[in-house]
Amino acid sequence: MVKQKIVINLSINDARRRTKALKIAAGMDGIISTSIDGDNIVVEGDGIDSVALTTVLRKKLGCANLISVTSDDDKKEEKKEEKKEEKSDSEAKSVQPVVLPHYYAVAPPYPYQYCYYEVSKYPDSCSIM
């Protein structure tokens, strides 16, 4: 699984609510560590459902807002992308772009629909008979 770090903002006023928040967070599946930083609770673990954790905290403690969810894979991918961008920038300087001719595909026009109305010879007559 992917190691994640989740930050949730809580309205924590006293030590009792802090311990209750930590117990709830530690009871979820896949959690490795929990800590409190001011009004935020920081949870680290593998394959954590951040929405479910936030919902449980919101039900038990009141106000809980999901601040951020980060994973270790995101950091690794960012480093790889930066290296690829540096290589592509240096390659782009030496290679000239190829200009392709433009081709336009035009759809055929839709056929015009004609409507006609039948006018009776006798405008005051009954149409049933």
Domains, in order of start, for the chain: 3-73 (3.30.70.100)
Q: What is the pLDDT of residue 3?
A: 87
Cβ atoms 31, 43 nearer than 8 A: yes
Q: What is the pLDDT of residue 67?
A: 93
Judged by average pLDDT, the poorest of 8-12, 21-25, 53-57, 115-119 is 115-119
Q: Tell me, what DSSP letter sits at residue 121?
A: S
Say which residue the tokens 């967070």 belong to.
Answer: 25
How would residue 128 be classed by pLDDT, with cut points 50, 70 and 90? low
Strand ranges in 1-129 using DSSP code E only, listed in sequence order: 3-10, 31-37, 40-46, 64-71
Give residue-wise pLDDT tens across range 81-113.
766 666 555 555 566 776 766 666 666 677 777
* Alpha-carbon torsion, ordered 19, 25, 31, 33, to 10 deg: -30
Give residue-wise pLDDT tens across range 45-78.
998 899 999 999 999 988 899 999 998 776 666 6
Which long-range contacts (C-beta less than 8 Å, at least 24 apart) are formed by 73-81?
73/2
Q: What is the pLDDT of residue 113?
A: 73
Q: What is the CA radius of gyration of the chain?
A: 33
Cβ atoms 34, 42 nearer than 8 A: yes
b/e map 58-81, b = 16+ CB within 10 Å:
eeebeebebeebeeeeeeeeeeee
* Alpha-carbon torsion, ordered 121, 122, 127, 129, to 10 deg: -100
